[in-house]
Amino acid sequence: MRRSNIWLAFLLAAFLLAAAACAPSPEAAAQPTQQVIRILDLSSLPSVIEPAALAVEEETVPTSPPTDMPAFTPTATIKTQSTPAADPSDPQPTAACTNQAELVRILSGSDNIAVKTGNSFAKVWQIKNNGTCTWTTAYALVFVSGEIMDGPVSVLLPREVRPGETIDLRLTLKAPQGSSRIAFGSWMLQDGSGNRFGLGETGDSPLVVQIWVQHVIPPKPI
């Protein structure tokens, strides 16, 4: 039994010695890890690699441009926009026409005629279209100022009147009641948009009705 213990103690001591021999020393542990760099020995390379193969070929840069190259001259490109020719089939814009009237003559109800109070009478003008617009049936003869004498405020034209044509415009009126005096009223033409026009170069003179209102005194009974 003592021999077995001695043998075990011997084995334990041998194990401890072996472990101590394998452990790194404190000085070695304190040293930083160094990278091992292999140095290539060029003398050991085979003679197949010539030193001329490792040289860099130099490029010769000319100090002046060659004389046989043509000179470059920049040119500017100018873009022009052509105007298309007008198509004769396209409708052309028309200028605005002009409304103007001319008095040719008075056919009935001359100025300053005597009309008894309360009696009816006719006033008829023959008018020429002296402008450039065509008078349509939307045109009218309208009252402007003075006494209307029981007449209409407006009367539409009975037909179309082209430039240069004439038309007879008629009003049926009545002499006002009252004492003898002059009664006066004026009318003008009006287009379909409500624009009024009349006689003269500027088209601002109205058509005039002027009568002498005759007051009739009844006879005294006998």
Domain ranges of the chain: 101-214
Higher local confidence (pLDDT), 21 or 162: 162
pTM (2 decimals)?
A: 0.56
Domain range 101-214, CATH class: mainly beta
* The pLDDT value given to residue 23: 55
Per-residue confidence (pLDDT) for residue 118, from 0 to 100: 94
pLDDT at 129 exceeding the cut of 60? yes
| pLDDT of 2 above 60 | no
Residue closest to 126 by CA, chosen among 142, 138, 110: 110
What is the rounded average pLDDT for all residues in the chain?
A: 76
Cβ–Cβ under 8 Å, residues 161 and 133: no
In the 3-class helix/strand/coil scheme, how is the chain assigned residue by residue?
A: CHHHHHHHHHHHHHHHHHHHHHCCCHHHHHCCCCCCCCCCCHHHCCCCCCHHHHCCCCCCCCCCCCCCCCCCCCCCCCCCCCCCCCCCCCCCCCCCCCCCEEEEEEEECCCCEEEECCCEEEEEEEEEECCCCCECCCCEEEEEEECCCCCCCEEECCCCECCCCEEEEEEEEECCCCCCEEEEEEEEEECCCCCEECECCCCCECEEEEEEEECCCCCCCC
Per-residue confidence (pLDDT) for residue 56, from 0 to 100: 45
